[in-house]
């Protein structure tokens, strides 16, 4: 009775190349579009998780271990598993409407998302989102 597939919801991608990765919903298309006549959403997720940083690491090593690789994808609702977590990162201006049209636009969008994810990871919040899902 409560809509839970909203922007900023953390989800887990279940199918495809990024299966098992955590992502955050950026935009919903509940009723589908002409090209995709099913409920789907635009997600931004983590393709490569940041590695575990320990106190012994030098500053250079910490910087290298905290790197995140991001992806942008349009997924069917059937291929994601929503979770109870949210990630309050503003990604709407990073991903414009045409981000998925050409490859270089996608790459620039991913770079922007990567920067936002990395700065959020460095604050230490949303620890669940940046940890790898073990399965």
Partner 1 sequence: MVSTKKTKKTHESINNRLALVMKSGKYTLGYKTVLRTLRSSKAKLIIIANNCPPLRKSEIEYYAMLAKVGVHHFNGNNVDLGTACGKYYRVCCLSIIDPGDSDIIKSMPGEQ
The site string for partner 1 over 38-57 (x = CB under 8 A, - otherwise) reads: -x------------------
DSSP 43-79: EEEEEEPPPPP-TT--HHHHHHHT--EEEEEEEEGGG
Under the binding rule (CB under 8 A), the answer on residue 32 touching partner 1 is no
Q: Are 80 and 40 in contact (CB under 8 A)?
A: no
Under the binding rule (CB under 8 A), the answer on residue 134 touching partner 1 is no
Question: What three-state secondary structure class fits 15?
Answer: coil
Instruction: Kindly identify the residues of this chain, within the stretch 75-94, that bind partner 1 according to CB under 8 A.
Output: 77-78, 81-82, 84
- Shortest Å, Cβ 3 to partner 1: 5
Stretch that binds partner 1, among 45-53, 73-81, 101-109, 120-128 (CB under 8 A): 73-81
Residue with Cβ nearer partner 1 (27 or 106): 27
Q: Are 91 and 44 in contact (CB under 8 A)?
A: yes
CA dihedral 70, 87, 9, 66 (to 10 degrees): 30
Contacts to partner 1 by CB under 8 A? 1-5, 30, 39, 77-78, 81-82, 84
């Amino acid at each position: 009775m409560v809509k839970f597939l909203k922007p900023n919801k953390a989800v887990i991608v279940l199918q495809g190349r990024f299966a098992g990765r955590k992502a955050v919903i950026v935009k919903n298309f509940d009723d589908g579009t002409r090209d995709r006549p099913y409920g789907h959403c635009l997600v931004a997720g983590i393709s490569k998780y940041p590695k575990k940083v320990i106190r012994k690491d030098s500053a250079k090593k910490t910087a290298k271990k905290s790197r995140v690789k991001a992806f942008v994808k349009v997924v069917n609702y059937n291929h994601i598993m929503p979770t109870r977590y949210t990630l309050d990162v503003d990604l709407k201006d990073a991903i414009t409407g045409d981000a998925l049209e050409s490859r270089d636009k996608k790459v620039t969008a991913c770079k922007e998302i990567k920067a936002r994810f990395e700065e959020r990871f460095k604050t230490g919040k949303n620890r669940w989102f940046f940890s790898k899902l073990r399965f």
